[in-house]
Amino acid sequence: MGVYVIGVDFGTDSVRSVIVDSRNGQEIATTVVHYPRWQQGLYCNPAVNQFRQHPLDYIESMESGIRQCLRIAGPAVASGIAAISVDTTGSTPVAVDESGTPLALLPAFKDNPNAMFVLWKDHTAIPEAAIINHAAARFPVDYLQFVGGIYSSEWFWSKLLHLLRTDEKVSAATWSWVEHCDWIPFLLTGGRDVRTMRRGICGAGHKALYAEEFGGLPPEEFFTAIDPLLGGFRSRLFDKVYTAADPAGNLSAEWAERLGLHTAVIVGVGAFDAHMGAVGGQIAPYHLSKVMGTSTCDMLVAPMEDMKGRLVRGICGQVPGSVIPGMMGMEAGQSAFGDCYAWLSNLLAWPLQQLIPATAFLEPAIAAKVRDDAQQRILQELSRQAALILPDEHSELGIDWLNGRRTPDANQALKGTLTGLHLASDAPRLFRAIAEATCFGARAIVERFEREGMPVKGLIGIGGVAKKSAFIMQLMADTMNMPIRIHRSEQTCALGAAMFAATAAGLYTRVEDAMEAMGQGFDNVYQPDVSRVSLYETRYEKYKSLGEFTATLTIN
């Protein structure tokens, strides 16, 4: 058995692959490959919150990224690959036939968005989530107790029900419903029967209502009470789950040939990006691991004996073994984080996109370069100028629910707000208000954990925003009045996947041992500016009041 492992991180925009030496965590090669169809905006309609991804984007980008990594690493490393593990966004499920093939890979459905993966940020299922919550309230057993008490439109059953209610042809062809993180290992191991798919506890517990206390999934009558269309799906899903430290099987002959590897390579059970990213970022009990990208996913782990039947209301679930086997994994997060900044950037870039290409003063090629260069520098310059602004009690104020609210108390119908505007409210001031709102949203999550009896002893920053924006990280430390450590790795989620791959292959007995040996440590710590703590306390109270007012305006 070799000593090298591959971690693959399927993000919202791209797939990142990394080859790691399991003995010390050294990153041998790293690649990033963007999804070509997603980049073109295909199959998406932001006006109705529809965000779909074609399975070919995943297949082609994964194959390209891993092969590039292996070329960079060289044949000696390629021959020493012991295992592959993957993480994905979630809940990002897809309709499959009995063989486990996503319907979009069949000729009849190749261009039907409903036959594709329903991305985590897709909120077309808001009405269906409301139906689930209403039906669950009528049952004597609280089947939502381990997912914070509120079922979200971002999750497994809401999205399935929406599909069944809106597309008769896809509905008739759907044999089962599969999370992205479960399908990729099934694909790599050559699965041909969806009943043999090894489903991970991560997706099953946090999104599909699986719990040992229920004997697995809730009973059939629960789902038929929600809607008769869900009848029969429970029996075609799963009654056993696995942790990400377990193997899903060996690399199939087909994929061994496609990647240039061998069939002795172990493929680990999959999990969500933030859960594996927390491990890659060396999470510790009661230290909140914040994976900060287009959204945030915040992970907290606690020893099982500390829970003692405690339920944390309003989060995205508490599931034994979903992060580290043998520990309680708790998930929270914000539906939009980097997406909030991208929204303002795109808004400001509208004149660049619409007017510069049409100008008569520049050659088309030069105009395109001017447009692209300016657009790429907008956020960087906004951050620089926003950092120079001294806030006061009456500065512009925002609410960060531009894509709804994930935690606390999921409500994807909520909208964002900007207030306190005046004639001097320029772009840097608006950016500062939005950045501050995202940090206040993060603080609301910490407060919910602490109010529910789960102490937060520290913060760990992971992901693109954490690595790239000193302004936002300092603002977060200030608004939280708490230090935040930034993990050294540029590919923390993929590194976490590599740690799980090493464990699934038996190179380590426990994922904690892999984390200790392969962890890269922290390269920065942002300390709160004590001179601003009092100001942010005042502004945070205003944020909460504005949030309460904003919620009253929401049209459900």
308 within a domain of the structure (yes/no): no
Average of per-residue pLDDT across 332-343: 95
Shared domain check, 237 and 133: yes
Mean pLDDT of 376-405: 94
What's the mean pLDDT in 325-331? Answer: 96
Question: Is 177 found in the same domain as 122?
Answer: yes
Nearest to 48, CA basis, from 116, 130, 117, 124 = 124
538, 499: one domain: no
pLDDT of 308 higher than 90: no
CA–CA dist 346, 159 (Å, integer) = 28
Average pLDDT estimate for 103-118: 98
For residue 227, what pLDDT is reported? Answer: 98
452 and 513 in a common domain: no
Is the domain of 81 the same as that of 178?
yes
CATH of the domain at 412: 3.30.420.40
pLDDT digits (tens, 9 = 90+) for 196-248: 999 999 999 999 999 999 999 999 999 999 999 999 999 999 999 999 999 99
Q: Are residues 76 and 204 in the same domain?
A: yes
Q: Is the per-residue pLDDT at 111 higher than 60?
A: yes
If asked whether residues 495 and 421 sit together in one domain, one would say no
Query: Are both 277 and 355 inside the same structural domain?
Result: no
DSSP H helical segments within 261-413, as ranges? 273-280, 304-307, 338-348, 350-355, 364-386
Classify residue 298: in a domain, yes or no.
Answer: no
| pLDDT exceeds cutoff 90 at 358 | no
pLDDT at 555: 60
pLDDT above 90 covers what percent of the chain? 92
Range of the domain at 424: 338-488+523-552
The answer as to whether 24 is a domain residue is: yes
The verdict on 260 and 235 lying in the same domain is yes
Residue 306 belongs to some domain of the structure: no
In single-letter form, the type of residue at position 259 comes to: L
Say yes or no: 144 and 248 in one domain. yes
According to the model, what pLDDT value does residue 357 have? 83
pLDDT digits (tens, 9 = 90+) for 247-277: 999 999 999 999 999 999 999 999 999 999 9
Q: How many domains does the chain have?
A: 2
**Residue-by-residue DSSP string for 191-211:** ---GGG---BHHHHHHHS--B
Per-residue confidence (pLDDT) for residue 534, from 0 to 100 = 95
Q: Are residues 352 and 500 in the same domain?
A: no
Question: Does residue 344 lie in a domain region?
Answer: yes
- Mean of pLDDT values over 175-186: 98
C-alpha–C-alpha distance, residues 271 and 7, integer Å: 12
What pLDDT, on the 0 to 100 scale, is given for residue 375?
85
CA distance 82 to 79: 9
Q: What is the pLDDT of residue 379?
A: 93
Residue 309 counted as domain residue = no
DSSP line for 146-176 = GGTT---TTSHHHHHHHHHHH-HHHHHH--E
**Across all residues in the chain, what is the average pLDDT?**
96
Residues 201, 204, 209, 211, CA torsion sign:
negative
Judge if 72 and 34 occupy the same domain.
Answer: yes
Average pLDDT over residues 477-503: 96
CB 329 within 8 Å of CB 323: yes
Residue 286 has pLDDT above 90, yes or no: yes
* C-beta of residue 543 within 8 angstroms of C-beta of residue 417: no
Residues written for the chain: 556
Largest CA distance in the chain: 71
State how far Cα 205 lies from the chain centre: 15
pLDDT bucket at 554, cuts 50 / 70 / 90: confident
Residue 347 has pLDDT above 90, yes or no: yes
